[in-house]
Every structure is written in C-alpha cells, then in structure tokens.
C-alpha cells in the first residue's frame, strides 16, 4: 500500500520537492505549470491531476475494502468512500508534515515505490498468495 501511496503522489503531481534553482521559496514541481500555462490549458492540467488522484485513491480504497460490492453493495460503497477520504487525509498530512525533497533526491523517492512494490511481490511469491 505504501508503494501505491508513493505512486499516487508521483502521478498526481503531489510530490513535495524543493527546487533550489528558483528564486521562490519551497515549491512543488506542479506549481511551475502556473507560469507556463493559463486558462483552459491550466484547468485541463489541474483536472487531469485531480482525476489521477481520485483514480489512485479509488484503487487503494478498493484494495483495502473488505466487503464485496455484489454481496453488500451499500456497505461496500460506504466503506470505499470513507477509505478514499482516509487516503486524502493521509496524502494531505504527508504533504504538510514531510520536509520538501531537494531536486536531486526525487529519483530516489520514485525508486522507493519500485523497491516497495518489488518487496511486496517477493513476499507474496515466497509466502504464496491466498485467494
């Protein structure tokens, strides 16, 4: 799940990054888009990032949801919605509490997701998946 949270932040342009080359204080990479785009182009980019965030949060919520949607649909939808809210809170807390990463450390942050996913695949492969 931690690998999916890192992937969610990376894909939805929510990575906390500090670019020392800018004259601005701590920035996030996606905020540079405001300088390059405006109007409908910026709205489309912001909408795409929000859509990615929603889709990845939905994927995480679906994987964590213990209820089957065909057997208990109301309960499954309710728990899924609460889980998505929980994912949003975790992402928000992570963004606000974590120190900004210097730009050269960004590839290591992205590699973290790969290593975590690889470790999870190894554990599932060794212990065997229970269906």
- pLDDT tens for 61-99 read 998 888 988 899 999 999 999 999 999 898 888 777 766
How many C-beta atoms lie closer than 10 Å to residue 100's C-beta? 16
Which position has the higher pLDDT, 79 or 3? 79
Question: Can you tell me the distance from the alpha carbon of 91 to that of 97, in angstroms, rounded to the nearest whole number?
Answer: 10
If one counts the domains in the chain, the total is 1
Tell me, yes or no, whether 48 lies in a domain: no
Query: Is 95 a domain residue?
Result: yes
Per residue in 5-50, pLDDT (tens digit) is 777 777 776 665 555 565 555 455 556 666 677 788 888 888 888 8
The answer to the question of residue 35 being in a domain is: no
Domain that holds residue 86: 1-8+61-101
Give a yes or no: residue 4 inside a domain: yes
How deeply is 53 buried, as exposed, middle or buried, from its count of CB atoms within 10 A (0-12, 13-18, 19+)?
A: buried
CA atoms within 13 A on the CB side of 67: 15
Q: What is the pLDDT of residue 129?
A: 61
């Amino acid at each position: 799940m931690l690998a999916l949270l890192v992937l969610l932040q990376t894909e939805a342009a929510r990575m906390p990054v500090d670019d020392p080359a800018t004259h601005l204080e701590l920035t996030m990479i996606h905020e540079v888009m405001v300088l390059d785009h405006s109007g409908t182009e910026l709205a489309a980019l912001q909408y795409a990032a929000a859509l990615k965030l929603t889709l990845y949060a939905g994927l995480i919520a679906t994987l964590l949801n213990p209820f089957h949607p065909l057997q208990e649909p109301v309960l499954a939808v309710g728990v899924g919605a609460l889980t998505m809210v929980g994912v949003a809170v975790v992402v928000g807390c992570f963004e606000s509490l974590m120190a900004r990463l210097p730009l050269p450390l960004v590839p290591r942050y992205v590699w973290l997701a790969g290593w975590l996913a690889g470790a999870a695949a190894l554990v599932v492969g060794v212990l065997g998946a229970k269906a």
